[in-house]
Amino acid sequence: MKLEELRPLVGVGRQLYVETYGCQMNVSDSEILVSIMQDEGYRYTENIAEADVILVNTCSIRDNAEQRIWGRLNEFRRYKKARKNLVVGVVGCMAERLREELLNDGVVDIVAGPDAYRDMPRLVAMAIGGSHGVNVELSQEETYGDIRPVRLDKNGVNAFISIMRGCNNFCAYCVVPYTRGRERSRDPYTIVREAKELFEAGYRDVTLLGQNVNSYSWKPEDGGEVDFPDLVAMVADVSPLLRVRFATSHPKDLSDKLIDVMASLPNVCRAVHLPAQSGSNRMLTAMNRKYTREWYLGRLAAIRRKMPDCAISTDLIAGFCGETEEDHAQTLLLMREVGYDSAYMFKYSQRPGTQAARHMEDDIPEDVKTARLNEIIELQNELSLASNRRDMGKCFEVLVEGASRRSCKQLCGRTSQNKMVVFDAADGIKAGDYIVVKITDCTLATLFGEIVK
């Protein structure tokens, strides 16, 4: 045993509470963070009242995301007053962006960026010793590839696997390249190992995560390359009973090879999240998205040619700099043309330091942004309902996730298309099982059905 392995673990006897905001990547990062802290002796708790260390994993994507977290930090003053030795740390994207402001706030002891989590035990030890623990260094290499995340989810069926970090795309509106640094891919063998371990532990649905999974690339020293379609095939090969999903796909990099690999593997889910952001070419250029509406529709047609039953979802931004009524109308038209199954829809929020903040005017009045967003949401509600109505009478293979939220006599699970189905419980059917359900009813958010097999 090496001498350093004999040192006392800082965390022994201390409880760690973690609160997570933002995207799936943050959810996955919190699981990595807990793993690192448990190795140092900390015990994870879901009860904030008994925590010795509170970590808040934060998001900067829109101003309201940050405002919510400031509000939450304010509430922590109360806990700090009650418990003198309580340590509060802010980690994630907002930590990277707002280090000084956070440290000056008076509540925050630790600020750690997304690439600094291995350093967390030292940062907490510093805070316990009475100084600030700060590390917002971004890395070109860190992927946490060797770390086994501690699963914080409840159902034991779905899990995220982070396959890459950072982003090189610099969409004009987006803060992510600044908070998460340059793109880098994780060793595929550690990814497959993680998928295998999850499968053996009973998990049946894994989502491969990255800001732009289509640019995943691993080049071993002895030559060759593992690209994203190769990786999908490797993970799908773990078991035919393991469903594989991924997010997010940048339309500019979605290859025919990926479509072919998906189509050839039934356990790769029939769902692609393909954020369009806008239906107007003028806006897409201003946003630096590097594709046109025509390219986007071409990719979509290619997906549907090979997988007619593939669900398509998207992200849309209303009221980006210079957006005219005509541009907005183009977005609505695109939505109708595609007939999205679901969408995440946002009002443009200017983020300091981005290309848009530096070079463009945030010139769409708030009430116009709101009105356009509402039109987009209203249309999507109509499209989601239409999409669910098309499923009525059809049978789908459903992966059971557990009790439905409304009633313990009902179970819920997802189709390959990522739609939630609720059905009456039956003897012997439990989370992790595959069953066949016939759809008998729907709302715009949920399908209802009965078990046929």
Binding site for ligand SAH (CB under 6 A): 61-62, 173-174, 176, 211-212, 248, 250, 275, 277, 315, 317, 346, 348-349, 351
Stretch that binds ligand F3S, among 78-86, 175-183, 199-207, 212-220 (CB under 6 A): 175-183
Give the one entry of ligand SAH, ligand SF4, ligand F3S, none that residue 53 binds, where binding means its C-beta sits below a cut-off of 5 to 8 angstroms depending on kind: none
> Does 211 contact ligand SF4 by CB under 6 A?
yes
Choice between 177 and 432, CB closer to ligand SF4: 177
Give the one entry of ligand SF4, ligand SAH, ligand F3S, none that residue 59 binds, where binding means its C-beta sits below a cut-off of 5 to 8 angstroms depending on kind: ligand F3S
Stretch that binds ligand F3S, among 9-17, 43-51, 59-67, 240-248 (CB under 6 A): 59-67
Give the one entry of ligand SAH, ligand F3S, ligand SF4, none that residue 207 binds, where binding means its C-beta sits below a cut-off of 5 to 8 angstroms depending on kind: none
> Does 179 contact ligand F3S by CB under 6 A?
yes
User: What tokens does 8 get?
Assistant: 């006392």
- CB of 178 vs ligand SAH, minimal distance in Å: 11
> Does 170 contact ligand SF4 by CB under 6 A?
yes
In whole angstroms, what is the distance from residue 344 CA to residue 313 CA? 8
DSSP string computed for 277-327: B-S-HHHHHHTT----HHHHHHHHHHHHHH-TT-EEEEEEEES-TT--HHH
The most distant pair of C-alpha atoms in the chain lies apart, rounded to whole Å, by: 69
Please check whether residue 190 is in contact with residue 218, taking contact to mean a CB–CB distance below 8 angstroms. no
> Does 167 contact ligand SF4 by CB under 6 A?
yes
User: Phi and psi (nearest 5°) for 394?
Assistant: -90, 160
Please check whether residue 373 is in contact with residue 345, taking contact to mean a CB–CB distance below 8 angstroms. yes
> Does 61 contact ligand F3S by CB under 6 A?
yes
- CB of 350 vs ligand SAH, minimal distance in Å: 7
Separation of first and last alpha carbons in the chain: 55
In three-state form (DSSP H/G/I as H, E/B as E, the rest C), the secondary structure along 187-232 is CHHHHHHHHHHHHHCCCCEEEEECCCHHHCEECCCCCCCEEHHHHH
Give the one entry of ligand SF4, ligand F3S, ligand SAH, none that residue 349 binds, where binding means its C-beta sits below a cut-off of 5 to 8 angstroms depending on kind: ligand SAH
User: What tokens does 82 get?
Assistant: 């009650």
Of 242, 60, 35, which is closest to residue 159 (Cα–Cα)? 242
Site string for ligand SF4, 13-52 (x = CB under 6 A): ----------------------------------------
In whole angstroms, what is the distance from residue 304 CA to residue 340 CA? 13
The kind and range of the H/E element at 120 are helix 120-128
Stretch that binds ligand SF4, among 171-179, 219-227, 300-308, 377-385 (CB under 6 A): 171-179
> Does 422 contact ligand SF4 by CB under 6 A?
no
Please check whether residue 43 is in contact with residue 14, taking contact to mean a CB–CB distance below 8 angstroms. yes
Provide the binding-site residues for ligand F3S, judged by CB under 6 A: 22-23, 25-26, 59-61, 92-93, 175-176, 179-180
Provide the binding-site residues for ligand SF4, judged by CB under 6 A: 167, 169-171, 174, 176-177, 211-212, 250
